Amino acid sequence: MIPNVLSIAGVDPSGGAGIAADLKTFAALGAYGMAAVTAVTAQNTRGVTGVRLIEPGFVAEQIDAIFADIRVDAVKIGMAGTAEIAAAIADALVRHRARHIVLDPVMVAKGGDRLLSEDAVAAVRERLIPIAEVVTPNLPEAATLLGVDEPTDIAAATEMAGELKALGAASVLLKGGHLAGPESIDVYFDGETLETFRAPRIATKNTHGTGCTLSAAIAALLPRLPRLEAIGKAKAYLTGALRAADRLDVGSGHGPLHHFHAMWGTFDG
């Protein structure tokens, strides 16, 4: 069965993050991608210059239209933008009994531009995290959600994963990319199982959309694989996309990943 996966996120016109990254990831991993737009941004590889938010009721209307007609096997939630949009997403997904929800609590773009309003942090914490099967914050996002300092080592990150799990998600994948060291170590915790996912740190500035891509990959794989196996394969896919990123020539800032690194082969030199 080819899974149908819905991305609820913002639009990055440069194609590196948000819905564009999600749809590429879904396709690369053999899933049919769909999208409900929460915001339209003006951005490129160097940063965000503008954001236009979609009216919350229309975000819900997009979601309703998909569920009214199409079997939805998994959902990835990215940029919510405001408390009202977060609440509209939560209400719609609960109403439709959505399965395999992966939440990437996007707060700041790669260039440092804030993408989530202050009041929306509480809504993400109280409305979206409790309905998620997997929540995938990086260390700064996790610190903001918990109102604590960012961890600086794997032991502190492991403790933080437990605190995040207490917010209500079925499981947490705390991304450790901001920690120092030769490996990127992510910490998984579901209340019983504690697991680390390790990958070599790739030396590239082309890291735009890494969080979007990992969460989208998990969502694409969850309908077909056990959760830990889906996360492991998603992490391996992300590592491959990062390793091949320098084969692309897109922009002068933080460029995108190579989402189709395993497919394009002879066509990209």
Residues labelled as active-site residues? 175, 207, 209-212
Q: Please, what's the b/e burial string for 219-232 (b: 16 or more CB within 10 A of its CB; e: otherwise)?
A: bbbbbbeebeebbb
Q: Name the H helices within the chain.
A: 18-28, 56-69, 83-95, 118-123, 139-146, 154-165, 210-221, 227-243
Cα separation, 122 vs 30, whole angstroms: 34
Q: How many CB atoms lie within 10 A of CB 158?
A: 17
Q: For the purposes of burial, counting CB atoms within 10 Å of the CB of 260, is it exposed (0-12), middle (13-18) or buried (19 or more)?
A: middle
Q: Are 241 and 95 in contact (CB under 8 A)?
A: no
Give backbone dihedrals phi and psi of 77, rounded to 5 degrees, phi first. -110, 125
**Which of 54, 100, 62, 96 has its CA nearest to residue 79?**
54
Q: How many CA atoms lie within 13 A of 240 on its CB side?
A: 17
**Which of 115, 112, 105, 138 has its CA nearest to residue 253?**
112
**Is the C-alpha dihedral spanning 132, 133, 138, 144 positive or negative?**
positive
DSSP conformational letter for 188: E
